[in-house]
Amino acid sequence: MKERVVVAMSGGVDSSVACALLKEQGYEVIGITICFNLVDSIRKKPICCGLQGIEDARRVAHKLGIKHYVLNMQKILEERVIKDFLREYLRGKTPNPCIRCNQYIKFDALLKRALSLGAKYLATGHYARIEKIQNPKSKIQSYLLKKAKDPKKDQSYFLYRLTQKQMKHTIFPLGDYSKDQVRRLAREFCLPVADKLDSQEICFIPDMNYRGFIKTRIKMNIEPGPIVDRQGNILGKHKGIPFYTIGQREGLGIATGYPLYVTKIDSKNNRIIVGKKEEATKKDFLVKNLHFILGPIKKKVALGVKIRYNHQEMPAWVIPFAKRIKVRFKNPQFAITPGQSAVFYKKDTVMGGGIIDKAID
């Protein structure tokens, strides 16, 4: 009997090539496309779970001769991702909904569905790797989450909340490939999506219009308030706490003769604090809602730390601090943003991470 694997098919190049590779390797492949009740609008770039994605996934499944199903997960998206997204923005935080989607939708709800279908594994098109290790004394097997071979495409940052149980039943077929290699494979397999553009948008926000989405979804009034400097001097007026993020420069509407950046968001007093770039550059910050892949860090350790997906990993001390972690960068970093995830690395291995609570002056 062939081992059965369910592939999360977005209709994009990556998940389509993942399907083709697994079938070539001898697995019984079943494709499932997650969909949500999203507004079918014209977008500049494709999204992972729109109507076009469903149709493209069907065409790929037909080409490969595999079964394909569509699974609506709107309820989980609303409860676990969108509500948190809106709640955090109202608090002056900047959340990463893709991390929560992976945590609660792909590797929880979808993985459970895959196992209920008799599959041994769930596979996705993420660029990351899972490595099995075994303790020579206890013979207990554990799993490591590792960066992809291609550093430009590595997506391990989005996956740091994976558990041992989830990794036991997860495959990342693209972890050893570059994006160029995946494109070539798509053409060699004659996949109908070989030249499709990559999806880069958050699926529930049309064309990345955060302000418009927040306005339509939040029923309460979003109150304007003062923009102040570090000394409390009023420099201007903001349009509402949810519309700003740490490090933001555009849209402040203040003329000072030099650039100003958002350095702090005071949601309690409905104030935006601005300053020069160096005032938005910090060394120390606290991390909460921690998750570690092989158990918690118990003492001060030197690790690489990323404070957002497109942030270059930088050396830092990671220090246990009550029920949180204190991070001290070797060199100050710009725009350490509450609500974003900080992910800890030891060389190419993800140790864990958590949610940035606050930067420390």
Angle between helices 13-24 and 51-64 (to 10 degrees): 20
- Distance CA(259)–CA(309), nearest Å, equals 25
SS3 164: helix
Indicate the length of the chain as a whole number: 361
Residues forming a β-bridge with 237: 226
Asked whether the beta carbons of 352 and 344 are under 8 A apart, the reply is yes
Question: Does 48 participate in catalysis according to the annotation?
Answer: no
Cβ neighbors of 278 (< 8 A, separation 6 or more) are none
Question: Does 101 participate in catalysis according to the annotation?
Answer: yes
- Distance CA(179)–CA(126), nearest Å, equals 11
Residue 229: count of CB within 10 angstroms of its CB: 17
- Distance CA(101)–CA(295), nearest Å, equals 23
Catalytic residue from among 19, 49, 98, 101: 101
SS3 80: helix
Phi and psi for 87 in degrees, rounded to 5? -60, -45
- Distance CA(133)–CA(142), nearest Å, equals 5
**DSSP string spanning 177-211?**
--HHHHHHHHHHTT-TTTTPPPP-S-TTSGGG-HH
Structure-token match 């140790």, residue found: 351
Catalytic residue from among 19, 49, 98, 203: 203
Return the active site residues. Answer: 101, 203
